[in-house]
Structure 1
């Protein structure tokens, strides 16, 4: 892989990852509720999910999803239902929940598994991601060169950029906490985030493989 090809991949992924999607929105929302350090389990779940998606795409699952209407539909609607459920839960979340999670170590520490699981499920909720990686990575790979090293370089690059943006969103959310001392503001943030998750779920349910 030439340096110019890699640089083009960096620019592409930089802007793709920066787009506010469910993953970044979740990182920001948990940053507001728990702070950056305690959002690490959420980001770990998101990244583990992305790793499995990339591995599945490299193994050909993306191609299978592209040809199997039934499998694609099952994953699509399950993911859409989860995002809508998460949106409803966020919409109706108690406005005092962020302060409690931040100041009560027992509650905060007991819920890291749940935050990891939420990040993982959000990351895995979109079958288009499998097709995205299957379609994106080959555009930057040379067919006449060993595939493994190229996939490794692309995967590491993607992980670094994706992790950096997650930290940006989580940090932005944590800084918003000081502005969200008003219950009314917190309620509006919950409704914005909940609406965004539900819109993402509805949009996901309407996508096709093409």
Structure 2
């Protein structure tokens, strides 16, 4: 793999990763509700899911999906169901009149549940699956040892993806400072819920090429 090829990969990943999607929305919403520090567990879950898919591509993910197309559909439906669950949860999230969460709804999620939530969204995203199965292998030179090339691409991907996670989480904390009014907080919850629902419905309508 040449340096030129690596730069092309890095540029493509930078642009793709920065595009708003389920992962970024989830991390931003976690940061709004729980703070930047605790949202790092959600970041780790999302990143772990993506790295799992990318690693799987090294051992023939594309061949597996071609041989067992039902696996792709199962992941797609599971991801859609989870996103719709998050949509309902965000939409119905109660807010006290001073804009703070009511006592029974105060966020108490453990880092394990935040990790699992991020992983579930990430591992079931069809776009991420296709990226791992079809896009990543194009940057591997079959005439050279493949393991070092995969390791390099994974390292570059991790740094870029992690950078964008931090950007979105920081944005979430900035947004949270303006959510002290109940009406604004309620509107934010509805917008977030609507976006999650949109992503979930788009997964239900997704058809693998």
TM (norm. structure 1) is: 0.90
Conserved in 1, the CA contact under 8 Å of 2:83 and 2:199? yes
1:40 equivalent in structure 2: 40
Pairwise mapping of residues 84-99 of structure 1 onto structure 2 (< 5 A)? Answer: 84-95=84-95, 99=100
- Greater helix share, 1 or 2? 1
Give the Å deviation of 1:71: 2.1
Q: SS where residue 179 of structure 2 aligns?
A: helix
Encode CA deviations 1:23-72: one digit per residue, 9 max, x unaligned: 00011111111111111111111111112111222221233224433222
Tell me how far apart the structure 2 counterparts of residues 29 and 108 of structure 1 sit (CA, whole Å).
12
Tell me how far apart the structure 1 counterparts of residues 101 and 87 of structure 2 sit (CA, whole Å).
20
2:116 equivalent in structure 1: 117
Give the Å deviation of 1:198: 1.0
Give the Å deviation of 1:137: 1.2
Conserved in 2, the CA contact under 8 Å of 1:90 and 1:190? yes
TM (norm. structure 2) is: 0.90
Change in 2 beyond 3 A, CA 1:157/1:99: farther
1:15 equivalent in structure 2: 15
Change in 2 beyond 3 A, CA 1:74/1:108: closer
1:104 equivalent in structure 2: none
Change in 2 beyond 3 A, CA 1:85/1:128: same
Q: SS where residue 5 of structure 1 aligns?
A: helix
Pairwise mapping of residues 56-75 of structure 1 onto structure 2 (< 5 A)? Answer: 56-75=56-75
Tell me how far apart the structure 1 counterparts of residues 5 and 63 of structure 2 sit (CA, whole Å).
24
Q: SS where residue 114 of structure 2 aligns?
A: helix
Structure 1 segments unaligned to the other structure (5+ residues): 102-106
Tell me how far apart the structure 2 counterparts of residues 187 and 124 of structure 1 sit (CA, whole Å).
30
Conserved in 1, the CA contact under 8 Å of 2:39 and 2:169? yes
Tell me how far apart the structure 1 counterparts of residues 113 and 129 of structure 2 sit (CA, whole Å).
24
Tell me how far apart the structure 2 counterparts of residues 204 and 116 of structure 1 sit (CA, whole Å).
22
